[in-house]
Amino acid sequence: MSSKAKQPISSACMSNAIECKGALPTDGRGDAGLETRAFQKRLERHHDELRWLYMELYDNGDMFAELVDQMRRFFDDRPDRLKALDAAREEAGAWYRSQKMLGMQMYIDNFAGTIAGVEARLPYLERCRVNYIHLMPFLDTPTDKSRSDGGYAVKDFRSVRPDLGTMDDLAHLAQVCHERGISLCMDFVMNHTSEEHEWARRARAGEGEYMSRYFFEANQDVIDRYGRDVPQVFPTTAPGHWTYLPELGQCVMTQFYPYQWDLNYKNPRVFNEMMYNFLYLANQGIDIMRLDAVPYIWKQLGTNCRNLPQVHTLVRMMRMIGEVVCPGVVLLGEVVMAPVEVVPYFGTVEKPECHMLYNVTTMATTWHTVATGDVRLLRLQLDAVCGLPKEYTFLNYLRCHDDIGWGLDYPVLRRWGQEEVPHKRYLNDYFQGYAPGSTSRGALYNADPVTGDARFCATTASMCGIEAAGFEGDAEAMKVAVRKDLMLHAYMLTQSGLPIIYSGDEIGQINDYSYRDDPEKADDSRYIHRGAFPWGLVEEIDREGTVQNRIFLGLLELERIRCDDPVFSAEATVGTKDYSDVSILWIVRECAGKTLHAVFNFSDREKTIWMPEQAEYTDLLSGERTELASFELPAWGFAWFEL
Ligand code: GLC
């Protein structure tokens, strides 16, 4: 384990730090006997179930024994300070559910050049009140950007992309972050490797041991069957599920891009080795593992190869392995699927799988609501989420590094006369700025000429009209756009779960069209929202009245309120309220004898809002208490009134 002696770590825990206070150990070794007992106890708790699931899947006692041996080895290697953090987190319970958590997702190179650069920029992130950083893929990946999928084609799970730094830099960053009460999230890309990964290179050279770690197929019938049964991930940019390798006269399975080879988890060697990689990375100080594309990891001819029962077995095993070796580490499932498929990834309360999942349907439904001005579908979605056990923690977001796929509840929309294909066309037209009343700007993604399907890419600010208003120099339109942007963030912060800001959104960063001039990126419009962070604009935060000033300070205030007011606790009872106007979303949070009425106007018109009862409410934004029966809510405005 590395712990690079750079500059001394001086800063004290942030005020909003939740898990590090009092938990940071000295550098000396802990009590080895006590530690061993802690490991043994945790292993005893999970051993039988782990073994049972492993044997059911693999029927291989030797490989299971190897796994357990390695778990012990990784536990022994785990630095004392991480073990102490594990202990503190075990005691605290679900630390990631705290209302004080605020996340930010960023590309290291776009934000600060290197990992060391991110470390140097921590004061800015603290100023943003961020205490959870998701670093986008940073493991070694092919240098040709058109063959790296933004780092999701991993060449080596144990080394960092050289231009970003080293594994020592990462461990050091993690240590500094922990000192400041910040946790780190990384992508664990477990469905596939890059074609340049050592296993893939050896498989391509015909080594049977390595070929068995992927799916090779020469039989055209089988290939055709997969083509019929399995939906396409990237129908336009990477059609098909197989890539022909002339040197072997066979195809290799590549569900994503042709240079991302799907791993074969039917081979216990693959599972074991990937778990060792997971534990190795956890031991560098990673707190949250984002399980990339996890629904895809088990393939079975004759199925759609998504969300198969074996996927849940694998995730459950991973959860137990983590709980034994590094119980402070959280699994975040990237399950971009229909709601019925998403929730099972939490497992059950007794046999949990992921700690957290992306609230993907809510995200897509939010933008649907922006485009339609009709909150009915969003209410159904929010109420469904609120009806789940409170232990089920969602990660809430407006935008991330990926496109928005329009995964909406079409059976419901159909009842209201909206058919899937024309509705998606409407949404895509709207967000490209073609529909009447739209101020959004952005680009389509994977537009499929056969199905008429397409997804959408842009930054939050561009979708809210900040790009268009800035381009047109329209101050009035800018006012509305900034209001819309803040309203959507307020709505995100009103939900229970972990809110994540997409880096740049805190200062209203707009689309970056330069990817179109770069041949290695031009085909992938997701780069429109992966632009370099505009540090020049950060200076504008302190200039009264600028867009950056209004958004940044506006967000800070919302985040401060969310962090401090008990009504935002994860234990609150949350639901939506029926209101006579379909463009008004009304969320009610109740906790500790307080009731929050959060009201959001998804329309271009000012509205008069009638409160359920005339009473004295506190306006959380101004802090003022007023007797209220009704109030005026501007177009795209919101209010937080507490009773
Ligand atoms: C995930 C990532 C996406 C990537 C894909 C393949 O969905 O979010 O960016 O393209 O996995 O690894």
Chain segment 339-378, per-residue pLDDT in tens? 889 999 999 989 999 999 999 999 999 999 999 999 999 9
For position 2, what pLDDT does the model report? 36
Euclidean distance between CA atoms 30 and 394, whole angstroms: 35
pLDDT at 107 over 60: yes
3-state class (DSSP) for residue 19: coil
Spatial contact of 159 and 196, defined as CB atoms under 8 Å apart: no
- Distance between alpha carbon 485 and the CA centroid of its chain, in Å? 20
| pLDDT over threshold 60, residue 20 | no
| Ligand 1 closest atom vs CA 256 | 6
Encode pLDDT of 130-151 as tens digits. Answer: 999 999 999 999 999 999 999 9
Q: How far is the CA of 191 from the centre of ligand 1 (A)?
A: 10
- What residue spans of 197-267 are helical by DSSP H? 198-204, 208-211, 220-229
Tell how far the Cα of 295 is from the centroid of ligand 1, in angstroms: 12
The minimum-distance atom of ligand 1 relative to the CA of 234 is: 10
Mean pLDDT, the chain, whole residue set: 94
Q: Note whether 493 and 589 are within 8 A (CB).
A: no
Q: Looking at residues 4-25, what average pLDDT do you find? A: 34
User: From atom 7 of ligand 1, which residue's Cα is the shortest distance away?
Assistant: 293
Task: Tell me the per-residue pLDDT of 389-402, one tens digit each, with 9 for 90 and over.
Answer: 999 999 999 999 99
Sorted by where each starts, the structural domains of the chain and their CATH numbers stand as 11-77 (no CATH), 131-335+352-358 (3.20.20.80), 567-642 (2.60.40.1180)
Q: How high is the pLDDT of residue 10? A: 32
Give yes or no: 292 in active site: yes
For residue 191, give the ligand 1 atom closest to its CA: 12
Torsions phi, psi for 275 (to 5 deg): -70, -35
Helices then strands, counting H and E runs in the chain, come out as: 22, 23
What is the Cα–Cα distance from 417 to 411, expressed in whole angstroms? 10
Q: What's the confidence (pLDDT) of residue 303?
A: 97
Catalytic: 472? no
Q: What is the pLDDT of residues 481-499, one digit of tens each?
A: 999 999 999 999 999 999 9
Buried-state track 474-487, b at ≥16 Cβ within 10 A, e below 16: eeebbebbbbbbbb
Residue ranges around ligand 1 (CB below 6 Å)? 149-150, 152, 189, 256, 292-293, 334, 401-402
Structure confidence at residue 552 (pLDDT): 98
The answer to whether the CB of 363 falls within 8 A of the CB of 404 is yes
**Inter-residue long-range contacts of 380-389, CB under 8 Å, 24+ positions, other chains counted:** 380/409, 380/412, 381/339, 381/409, 382/495, 382/575, 382/576, 382/587, 383/575, 383/576, 384/339, 385/359, 385/495, 386/496, 386/574, 386/575, 386/576, 388/343, 388/346, 389/349
pLDDT in tens, 504-536: 999 999 999 999 999 999 999 999 999 999 999
What pLDDT is stored for residue 21 in this prediction? 32
Q: Is the pLDDT of residue 6 over 80?
A: no
Mean pLDDT for 29-39 is 78
CA distance linking residue 5 with residue 232, whole number of Å: 47
Average pLDDT of span 143-172: 97
Best substitution site from 187, 292, 400 to test ligand 1's pocket, by max atoms within 8 Å of Cβ? Answer: 292
- Which residue out of 179, 292, 467, 512 is catalytically annotated? 292
Q: What is the pLDDT of residues 575-615, one digit of tens each?
A: 999 999 999 999 999 999 999 999 999 999 999 999 999 99
User: What 3-state DSSP class applies to 72?
Assistant: helix
Percent of the chain with pLDDT over 70: 95
How many other C-beta atoms lie within 10 A of the C-beta of residue 20? Answer: 23
Percent of the chain whose pLDDT exceeds 90: 91
